[in-house]
Structure 1
């Protein structure tokens, strides 16, 4: 392999890929398949990291972010192929609107037809936080904790949000969340919120372990919250937005 390519990919990632290829063929398949269903900026990277810290769980990232012409069933066979003997649950993260390049993909009908599939539905109780986080990430160009650490946070300051864009994002997110139970009516669904995971990690660990049918282990992650500041600090026109949503169900998002 070309030295420059090896330096970019890294020996650990190369080894991990080779290991995945081997176990995909010779590994066992007697495990529970699951997905983490959510939208962006809900703490899904944190949850995937926590799941992957469990010795009996293997969790991948956005397997279906884009298809790029790939066959859905082939991608699934690769993701849910053979696993190491210790793995009892294997899954990946998928957003409500994936794949980005194929909105009419059959992935959703395929997943809905898997009655043994476990669905972990992750949401954020304060949806406004999700909207702010996404806007900040887009403007800064940092979508992960690692990228935030590399760029630094002193200049991220705040964002200006239009009333219309907030209203549209709130309505869209609410619609996505309502559709989960309808789309996966045949599956067991565990509803988790980012706030509960952060405030009660031990309880969440027990709940997740029981749901996936694995032994209890305290789940851990090295990832940190990216925007801990209060909304009044993160949103430049906070007062304007608060007034605009004062007489709506969304008013609670402004009173943390």
Structure 2
């Protein structure tokens, strides 16, 4: 990864970035990566962690990880999933734990938190704030071609939504049901 980040770029390139998921590196690779303190960190999270799980499970099912404004997208019937409610709370807690661990891991470094739901609903504000953080004042958010893949309600995407509702309704993750 680092060899890609430091490869020679055109003179017009002002910034280079990359997406790094919590589980993409081994602990040894994380140790090596953290020796580099020149990176600014943009920590992208979702307010609705259930949506994170749903999106991930749909991506594994359909093998479609991104969608641009030019691509067709999947029909609802192709995307519907069943969630294992015996593991659901644990999966949500793991995401919560990974978010906290990332914040701790990058403590003391330049880090900016971006919440996905805000990125979708107020992109101009989020990109302006992100640009301020990066020292870039001319990000044109209207040229971003990646679009939200799963716009349907959770009730439509989750086959066993009633079971999921029962599992989460009295938990710390009950607010994830409000879609």
Superposition TM-score tier, normalisation by shorter sequence: 0.7 to 0.9
CA contact (8 A) 1:80 1:91 kept: no
CA contact (8 A) 1:137 1:143 kept: yes
Q: Which residue of structure 2 lines up, in the alignment, with residue 81 of structure 1?
A: 7
CA contact (8 A) 1:245 1:251 kept: yes
CA contact (8 A) 1:121 1:190 kept: yes
Q: Show structure 2 runs of 5+ residues with no match.
A: none
Q: Which residue of structure 2 lines up, in the alignment, with residue 122 of structure 1?
A: 44
1:75-115 deviations in whole A, cap 9, x for unaligned? Answer: 4144223333333321211111113xxx2333x22332323
How far apart, in 1, do the equivalents of 2:24 and 2:129 lie? 27
CA contact (8 A) 2:76 2:157 kept: no
What TM-score, normalized by structure 1, do the two folds share?
Answer: 0.63
CA contact (8 A) 1:115 1:187 kept: yes
Question: 3-state SS of the aligned residue for 2:27?
Answer: coil
Q: Which residue of structure 1 lines up, in the alignment, with residue 67 of structure 2?
A: 145
Q: Which residue of structure 1 lines up, in the alignment, with residue 17 of structure 2?
A: 91
CA contact (8 A) 1:119 1:188 kept: yes
How far apart, in 2, do the equivalents of 1:211 and 1:85 lie? 22
- 1:154: how far off? 4.7
Question: In angstroms, what is the RMSD of aligned CA positions?
Answer: 2.1
CA contact (8 A) 1:115 1:186 kept: no
1:43-92 deviations in whole A, cap 9, x for unaligned? Answer: xxxxxxxxxxxxxxxxxxxxxxxxxxxxxxxx414422333333332121
- 1:186: how far off? 2.8
Q: Which has the higher contact order (CA 8 A, sep 6+)?
A: 2
Which has the greater radius of gyration?
1
CA contact (8 A) 2:73 2:149 kept: no
> 54, 63, 85: which one pairs with 1:163?
85
1:11-66 deviations in whole A, cap 9, x for unaligned? Answer: xxxxxxxxxxxxxxxxxxxxxxxxxxxxxxxxxxxxxxxxxxxxxxxxxxxxxxxx
User: Greater strand percent: which structure?
Assistant: 1
Aligned residues between the structures: 177
Q: Show structure 1 runs of 5+ residues with no match.
A: 1-74
